[in-house]
Structure 1
Amino acid sequence: MAEEAQRLRGSHGGGGGGGDDMGGVGRGGEEREMLIMALMLQTLMLRCCRPQVMLALVTGRQVEAYATKLFLHNQTSDVYLWNKHLSDYIHAGDRYAAVECFIDMNRSNVDCDSVTLVIALSAVTGSNDLLELGQQIHGMAMKLGFNLDVTVANSLINMYSKAGCLSFARKVFASMEELDLVSWNSMITTYAQSDLEEESVTHYLGLLSDGFRPDNYTLASVLRACSSLTSGLSLVEQIHVHALKTGIVMDN
C-alpha cells in the first residue's frame, strides 16, 4: 500500500520529503488515510440502497469525490491544509471538531474554496442545532459564487432536506444552472420521504426529460412514491418496463 501511495503521489507531481505544516502526518500516511476513507465510503454505498439512506449516500459520495480532489490542489497552500484537517475530522466522525476547525479557518482569513464548503456542509448536515451555521455557509457560498457549483448546491439540498426545510431545498434546486443525477435523486427522495408522492414522480419524469439515466436509488425512491398513489400500479408497470429496456437492475 505504501509503494502504491508513493506511486500515486508521484503521478500528481508531488515531491518527496517531510510532512505538512499542520497535521504532523507524513505524506505517505495522508495518502493511505484518504485511500482508506474512499474504500470505506465505497463499501457503505455498495451495502446501502434503501431510500431512507439515499441522502446519507449523497454526502458520502461528495466527501469521497472531494477527498480525491484534494490531491490535485497545491499541497503547500493554506486552503489545502485546512481542507485536509476538515476532512480528517469528518472521517473520524467528529462533526463538532470539524465545525470548530471551519470557524478557526475563517478567523485565520484563509479563503474558502468549493471543497471547503462541501466538507463544512457535510459536518452540519443532519444536526438541527447546526442548521443556522449551515445557512451562514449557504450565504458564504452565494457571496463567493460557489452556490453555482453543482456539488455545493447538492450539499445544500441535502442539508435542508435532512433538516425538514423542504422550501429551502426547492429554492436551491430551482436556482441551479446545472443539474446532475445526484441533484434529481436528492429531490425525488426528499419528496417521497415527505409524503409528496406526486412531486416525486414529477421530478422523476423531469430527470428522464433531461436525458439522465435513473439508477437503483432513483427507482427505489420513485417506486416508494408510486405505492401511495391511486394510479401507482400503472406507474410501477411503466417504470418496470423502462428499467428492463434500459438494463437497470434493481436490488429490491
Structure 2
Amino acid sequence: MRRAAALLRLLRSGASAGVRGRPACAAVHPLAVKSGSGSDARVATALADAYAKSGLVDRARRVFDETPLRDQVLWNVMVSCYSSHGLVRECWDVFGSMRRSGFPGDGFTFSALLSVRASSSSSCYDHANLLLVLGSSVHGIVIRLGLHLDVVVATALLDMYAKCGQVAEASRVFDAMVLRNTVSWNAIIVCYGKHDRGKEAFDLFVSMMRHGFCPDELTLASLLSSCADMAAANEATQLHAYTVRRGLQDFLQVGNALIMAYGKNGFVQEAKRTFGMIHNPDLVTWSSMVSSFAYLGLAKSAIDLFDRMLQQGIRADGIAFLGVLSACSHAGLIEDGFKYFLLMTRDYKIDPTPQHLACLVDLLGRAGRIRDAYEFLVNMSCDANVDVIGAFLGACRMRGNIESAKWAASRLFSLKPDDPINYLLISNTYAAAGDWNELAKVRSVMRNMCGNKVPGCSWIEIGGIVQTFVSNDMMLHQSREMQRMMELLVSLVEQDCNGQSKITDGRRHLQSFVIDTQVYI
C-alpha cells in the first residue's frame, strides 16, 4: 500500500513536469510492474497520465491496454491523451469503446472530447468539419445525461461550435446555459469577434460586466482585435483605459492587440508608445508593429523595425514577412521587396502563400512594370489563386492596361464565376478607362451569374457610434442629403477644372470613384 502511494507521488510529479518527466516514467514503470502495483487502477491511471503528458502516447496506450480492470478515470485519461495530441479518430474510438464497456462518461470525458486539438497533419478545414460532425452527435448525449448543466461541458460545447464557424449554434448553447463563468463569457465574445461580429461582441462585454463578471486579459485581447477589424477608435481607447485601471496592460496578448487596434485606427504614435512599453516583445509584437507601419504607409519605419527585429535574434515567420512585403508594395520599393522575398524563401525556407505573391505582383504593378508582373504570374511554381490574379488586375486597372486586364478577368471568372467581387474588379477597370459599353456588358453578366448578393458595406465612427453604410441603401438616414452633397462636389470639381479635357477627366474620375464604392445588390 505504501509502495503504491510512493509510486503515485512519483508519477504525479512526472506528469506535472511534461516532457521533462519522461525519465521518471521510464524509471517508475518497471518498479510498478515488479512490485505488482502495475495492475492497480490508480497506479495504471497515474502512469498512463504521466506518459500522455510527456508526449509518449503509444506507451500510455500500452499501459491502458495492459490494465485488466479499468474505471471511469482511466478511460478519461485515455480520451484526454488523444484529445490533447490532436488524434481525433483515436479519441472517438476510445470514447465508443468506453460507452460499449458500460461507462457513460462524465463531465471530464465530454469536455476533453469536445476540445480535440487540430493535428499538424490535418488541415483546419478538415478538422473543423470532422469535429462538427462528431461534436453535434455527442451534443445529444450530453443533453440526455443532463451534463449540459455542467458549466465546463457547456463551455466546451460552445467553444466547439465556435471553432467550427457555427456562430448561431454557439449562441444557442450560451443562451441555454444555467450557470456561466468568465471562461464561458470569453468563449462567446471570442466567437463573435473572430467571425466579424464585433458589435455583438461589445454588447456581450457590457452584459458580462452587468452580470458581475470581471473580464480578463483574454476578453480584452479579443475585444481589441474587434476594434482593429471595425476601426472603432473610441472603443479601443476606452478599453485601453480599462486595462490600465485593472492592471492588465502588461499581459503580452493585450499589448499586441492594442498595437493592432491603434495601428488599424491610424493612431501611429499610440501604437509606437504601446510597443515601447512592452518589456519582452515576442514575434507577434514585432509583426504587429511592422504590419501597423505598413498599413499606415510608413514603409521606411516598417523596414527599419523589421531589420531591427532580425538583428535582435527574433526569427521571422510568414506573417512578419508579409508585413514588410506589404510595406515595400505600398511604397514601390521593388529591390527591397524582392530582397525580403528571397530572404524568406531561401534563407528561412518559408513557402510563400498567395498573400506573399500578391504583394510582389502588386509591387511590380504599382511601379508600372505590368509585363514583369505578368511574367512573374505565369512563371510561378504554384497555381495562382484569386488573390494573386486580383492584385494583377488591380495593377492593370491602375495603369489602364485593358488587354492584360481582360486576360486576368478571364482567369478570375474561371476560378470563381459566381463571385461578384471579380466582376466589380473588371468593371472598375473599364470605368477607369472610360469604356462604359464594356462596363455595361460586365454588369449584365454579373446580374445573371451572381444573382442577389450581400451588398458592399462600409463604416465610420462618428461621436463614438459606428455608422454602417450599405451601397444603394436609400432607407439610410440622411441618404438624400449625402447624395445631394456628392452632386455638389461633382459640380464644384467641374467648375474648378480649366478646359474641356480636364472637365472630362474630372467627371471620369468621380464616376470611377462612385463605382468603386458600390457593389451590385
TM-score by length of 2: 0.36
Give 1:6 deviation, angstroms. Answer: 1.6
CA–CA distance in 1 between the matches of 2:80 and 2:240?
40
Equivalent residue number for residue 223 of structure 2: 222
Correspondence for 1:233: 233
Among candidates 115, 125, 128, match of residue 122 of structure 1? 115
Instruction: Tell me which moved more, 76-85 or 95-104.
Output: 76-85
What is the CA-CA distance between 1:234 and the residue it aligns to? 1.3
Amino acid at match of 1:226: C
Aligned to 1:29: 47
Aligned residues: 206
SS at structure 1 position matched to 2:168: helix
Contact 1:18–1:27 (Cα < 8 Å) also in 2: no
Are the structure 2 counterparts of residues 122 and 229 from structure 1 closer, same or farther at C-alpha, using a change threshold of 3 Å? closer
Deviation, 1:218, is: 1.0
Conserved 8 A contact 2:158-2:173:
yes
Q: Tell me the amino acid that sits aligned with residue 18 of structure 1.
A: S
Mapped to 2, the partners of 1:152 and 1:175 lie a distance apart of: 13
Quote the residue 1:136 is aligned against: 137
Partners of 2:227 and 2:235 within 8 A in 1: yes
Q: Is the 8 A contact 2:161 2:167 kept in 1?
A: yes
Which residue does the alignment assign to 2:95? 102
Q: Aligned partners of 1:139, 1:238: CA distance in 2, in Å? A: 41
Rg larger for: 2
Aligned to 1:113: 106
SS of the residue 1:110 aligns to: coil
Unpaired stretches in structure 2, ≥5 consecutive residues: 13-34, 56-68, 119-126, 256-521
Quick check: 1:114–1:146 contact (8 Å CA) kept in 2?
yes
- Quote the residue 1:248 is aligned against: 248
Q: Deviation digits for residues 35-74 of structure 1, max 9, x if unmatched? A: 657xxxxxxxxxxxxxxxxxxxxxxxxxxxxxxxxxxxxx
Distance in 2 separating the partners of 1:124 and 1:247: 31
Q: Which residue of 2 aligns with 1:78?
A: 71
1:124 and 1:159 in contact (8 A); partners too: no
Cα distance in 1 for residues equivalent to 2:7 and 2:208: 39
Counterpart for residue 190 of structure 2: 189
Q: Which moved more, 1:232-241 or 1:142-151?
A: 232-241
How many angstroms does 1:124 deviate by? 8.1
Amino acid in structure 1 at the alignment position of 2:9: Q
Partner Cα separation in structure 2 for residue 159 and residue 7 of structure 1: 35
Residue 173 of structure 1: how far off its partner (Å):
0.2
| Aligned equivalent of 1:18 | 37
- Rate the CA distance shift 1:101–1:8 in 2: closer, same or farther, 3 A: closer
Aligned match of 1:167: 168
What CA distance in whole angstroms lies between the structure 1 residues aligned with 2:198 and 2:85? 36
Contact 2:45 2:74 in 1 (8 A): no
Does residue 6 of structure 1 match 2:9?
yes
Q: Report which structure shows greater RCO (CA 8 Å, sep ≥6).
A: 1
Displacement of 1:100 in angstroms is: 0.7
1:133 is displaced (CA, Å) by 2.0
Would the alpha carbon gap of residues 155 and 111 (structure 1) be closer, same or farther in structure 2, given more than 3 Å must change? Answer: same
Unpaired stretches in structure 1, ≥5 consecutive residues: 10-15, 38-75
Aligned in 2, Cα 1:133/1:30: closer, same or farther, shift over 3 Å? Answer: closer
Closer, same or farther in 2 for the Cα pair 1:18/1:127, shift >3 Å?
farther
Q: What TM-score results when the alignment is normalised by the length of structure 1? A: 0.71
Contact 2:84 2:117 (C-alpha < 8 Å) held by counterparts: no
Cα distance change of structure 1 residues 21 and 137 upon mapping to structure 2, 3 Å threshold: farther
CA deviation after TM superposition for structure 1 residue 108, in Å: 2.0
- Identity across the alignment (%): 32
